[in-house]
Structure 1
């Protein structure tokens, strides 16, 4: 009886010890999840804190007199006069209307730096489209200089005004109080390509470049990947060659992406002589990188189709090809699409392989075709983040937010397709 009691006590102690371990294990899991969520939250807070101002533009509205004498312009239709005219003069004259004491050359120079460098081009384009406006007074809205924009968006914080003189700060504060300088949604960010000046820079060119590149990637990677998966899973004989191919497909899925960039540089540009920095080459490189992911996910989807489907189709007299094309592939298609979308989302965020094929170039124009010079969103973010100007750092964080929105949307679409189309057996 004593021995049985001691055995029971040993069992109870063992159970208590095991339960304590289980509680600790659950606690470690909760702590790990909490740390991961806190890190993710910290990352998002940092990105949003730096990037929300990238969605804000700062403008200055002025009554500008298009004085031909001040601009040294008599005929807006004369290209020679237009190339030599001073289109900044009317803007400076309008600003001097608010600060009549600014008559010295140094004051005029500081006034001119309140407005973006493209303001003169805006007046030039206006006169090219409407030559009859010469001599009239127009109310025009200009983008301010990037230093002024950063100063206004951060409410005069001294940490963001190191490149403004005290006199310029006073002028800006006065213009803000009068409502001449105002802020609003930065539509420029989504309507223009890159620029040397942050206030004029946009991501439309990068978005179009990413779109064109993803189209090429999808058109090549999806049919090739699905076809390879179907062959390997349904038709390929089980021999050493097939095993060798399967092992290498799994290995390729773990190869660093920059290796695919080197392959694209050597093959498509070096061997075939294709142009650099075009969506076609970028799409080919990303297609090579995405293929292993699509093949592996497609094979897993094909394996999930029950053997009874194949047996029933064959029992009805269907051939092997008919079984695969009419029954197996349609039932496996939701899984194939899910894996392909996840692979495309991964390709959308890639930078390293595209740097090697020249898609890091400074591209101002929005690409209009698959062979136009272009860049992509991750590379555009990389270029802006490499710049020292605060305005570009804000744009880089805003670009990250846009890129994350695209990637989250693609992953959400993959989850929705899986839930909507999957079959339970």
Structure 2
């Protein structure tokens, strides 16, 4: 059986199945909508308390980046649009609270699942997580308890939410497997940070696996073996030992200088999508941010982020790196990364079409806002600007002209920035690679993509 490997490592152990209680929500008419509204608001308060407990537990046991997931859950509970829709159904249609919560959350889930972007699709899991929490409180229904494992085991269920992962006892959990989910889900993110071998999206898992079955999980390949033969078991025990030895060697070199065997010093950087990734970069001796993927700031926003919003996001990463280089890539949207609020024409090959630098050069008002934010952040550290998907010298030259005009604008407004900020290009299309000697004369640096 194969699913999606979402957290690397090999897990070998007995399966413990957690069946999530299926709650059927039916529409009921209430005689006192105001009383029903109070019942809903009480459930929201308790849900908020639970989320704060999850935040504290994850902050202590996992880390601040993962705890931020529950901050977002708490903000959703306070979102007047989300709660307002539920309250209007209760008051205007005399609907029972649990049905109103499910109607509103189902609509939001559908919106997220219809998006083309995998990251945004995965946000539907958060909506389900939050709504299930509120509905269970309304119905006074219990949930799964992962804290009562009597022996080390591999947890198996239909789906893992971030809330489920927050309860897990790391020392008793050998691995996790589920029928649904993927790499971009918050549950998967927490599993990776906790270094729990995990496979998600394994269709038919619950109809194949029984309590006590011996399982092998490969969190890299997504393979799952149920009651494996001796030969397979021996092979994966050896693979498990090799992986644990590899992790041990990695921990031994942490803190050492990054230098090749023949004495050449190398700058070892990491890719980030936001300041939430900085802890891992610094914990693992990152000497630079080699690529700051700014598109996540746009993908996570319901509208184009403002200059100040972008500036604060970039500044937090730049300051966090404390003088070490931060390479900020300008907006790379298009292809498999689409924004619902930004109309992009359909193309036969969108990966090489209207995207990244071509979109920015065409919609310069978007490009200039981002460049101003990046330049402003350069006053707080060592910033380098990276232009993506450059395919000809004309594109590079036009981008550099816009960059210089943006600098002039900041100078006139007496806004500080690093006058010596470097500007480079991604070498990721054949034409750029073939003409690399020409590009080298007009670029401060290359990033090979």
Question: TM-score, normalized by length of structure 2?
Answer: 0.23
Larger RCO: Structure 1 or Structure 2 (Cα < 8 Å, ≥ 6 residues apart)? 1
Which structure has more strand as a fraction of its residues? Answer: 2
Question: TM-score, normalized by length of structure 1?
Answer: 0.24
